[in-house]
Amino acid sequence: MKIAWAQLNFHIGNFDANANKIIEQIQLAKSSSADLIVFPELSLCGYPPLDFLESNHFIEECIKSIALIAIHCDGIAAIIGAPAINKNETGKRLYNAAYFIENKRVAKIIKKTLLPNYDVFDEYRYFEPNNIFEIIEFKGHKIALTICEDLWDEQDETFTPLNHAKMYTISPMQELMKLHPDCIINIAASPFSFIQNQTRIKVLQRNAVKYNLPLLYVNHCGAQTELVFDGGSTLINKNGKVIAAAPFFKEDFKIVDLFDNSIDAFSAPINPSKNELIYNALICGIRDYFEKQNFTKAILGLSGGIDSALTLALAADALGKDNVMAVLLPSGFSSNHSINDAIALVNNLGCKHQILPIEDNFQSVLNTLAPSFEGTNFGLAEENIQARLRGVLLMAMSNKFGYILLNTSNKSEMAVGYGTLYGDMCGGLAVIGDVYKTEVYQLCQYINKDKEIIPLNTITKAPSAELRPNQKDSDSLPEYDILDKVLFQYIENKQSVEEICALGYDQSLVKRIINLVNKNEYKRKQAAPVIRVSPKAFGMGRRMPIVANYTC
């Protein structure tokens, strides 16, 4: 049986575009003599549709699109992910479903059983879990059709809530095995993190070996605001060997045969490095954020520091150098080498740039505030005025010329609140908000692997906000190599003060860092959406109260 996978980049709610893309791939599969074509989970409406699912019109558009697509399924069958209406009198109104279409009609609707409600997932808010198990009989074969989490009833303890390897009370595949399938197809909307593909492959291989069945996995690619989908669609034989794999972050159409005994001849794909994966994920996140909203031009403040340098390099790659405006906003505290480093970078990239000094504006604001500030010393308020003046100028250019402002804060800064609301935290998209400072350095080295793009001095100099004389980040924060390790244990690994201290860290330091994280939640609630590249990003996957009094 020849099966085509269609690893595609869908657009949430864009039914015309999504349906046309699906129909084009069906026609391609027919011309390639495929028997069946498989699309990802909720491909028709895009993932995650969130509260759009509460709209009757949204669901009606899904159903209309399924009917339109079915007309083209003559001589070929298709598996398409889309919501389905729950016709029972009890339960939630929708299922997360897979439509099996052949002979121009919907032959069967398979519903998702395991509905994840952790990290970025919130499916039980919208969907009713399946409790009736069926297989699909097609071309003499029995297909166990599963939807994403349905194969994740057993998970690696590191990545599950409260370290529960057994999250669910039922195993869909164990139920389906009672019906004697001879293969597994899994359609998915599995978001990217830099460890996700390794985890995902282990889960898929475990299922293939456990049930002694070949397994075809088809995933989304592309980005939807915070979430990036890396693709990585895969065919695994019953022995757990990866025998065909789609590229990461790209659309892909491929014909495979689950029952071809010669498939052992294929070799497994090469796994990219962490830096390559994160770099490509961020490029994908920027590009789709702009393209799917019909934006074309970006602007950012370029300080001469490493964070804005990395953000500019990423934006230039994602959008094209002619579509990115770098604005230098020096104050009286800005060093000459920072200005020179910034200019060297824009010259290396070929981007447009402007220089808008803020010193006169700063002095004007200080003069206005002089009666109110009388008798006080220069401090945080005066530092933040500079950051906010920069935000005012960048947003003015955004409004005037239609630029989207890119935020340049890294994850370390966002975690401890080392940033100014309505100042350097301004922006429509936080490009590196899920990249720790130490990882920022690694990504810059990755960018420079073939030639120097980001000036060496930008990488080697001590980081500074340059908002007061001789300021360094280390005046306010622990050294980043220590800070990031503690943050990782607290945020990603969910470790307590006691558990982190047991790893050899000073208790007072750990308490200070965690207190900074907790008390700055209010800033993150007002921050730009963050492109997710880690297992635990700030945003939809981390939900913490602002008003609280708890330190773990």
Catalytic residues: 41, 112, 148
Question: Which residues, in sequence order, are CB contacts of 271 under 8 Å at separation 6+?
Answer: 197, 198
Q: CB 493: neighbour CB atoms within 10 A? A: 13
For the chain, give the longest Cα–Cα distance.
87
Cβ neighbour number for residue 32 with a 10 Å cutoff: 14
Question: What crossing angle do the helices spanning 306-319 and 437-447 adopt, rounded to 10°?
Answer: 50
Tell me the torsion sign for CA atoms 395, 396, 402, 408. negative
Is 298 in contact with 290 (CB distance < 8 Å)? yes
Query: What are the strands of the beta sheet with 242-245, ordered from one edge?
Result: 136-138, 141-147, 183-188, 215-219, 234-236, 242-245
The answer to whether the beta carbons of residues 127 and 159 sit under 8 Å apart is no
3-state secondary structure of 530: strand
CA distance 385 to 503: 40
Helices (H) then strands (E): counts for the chain: 16, 19
Q: Would you give the end-to-end CA distance of the chain in angstroms?
A: 55
The distance of Cα 433 from the centroid of its chain, to the nearest Å, equals 11
Dihedral over Cα of 197, 199, 204, 206: its sign = positive
3-state secondary structure of 480: helix
Q: If you write DSSP's letter for every residue of 7-20 in order, what string do you get?
A: E----TT-HHHHHH
How many other C-beta atoms can be found within 10 angstroms of the C-beta atom of residue 46?
23
CA–CA dist 100, 26 (Å, integer)? 13
Strand order in the sheet with 2-7: 105-111, 94-102, 77-85, 36-38, 2-7, 252-257
* CB-based contact 186:155 (threshold 8 Å): no
Helix (H, G, I), strand (E, B) or coil at 2: strand
Burial 309-335 (b: 16+ CB within 10 A, else e): bbbbbbbbbbbeeebbbbbbbbbebbe
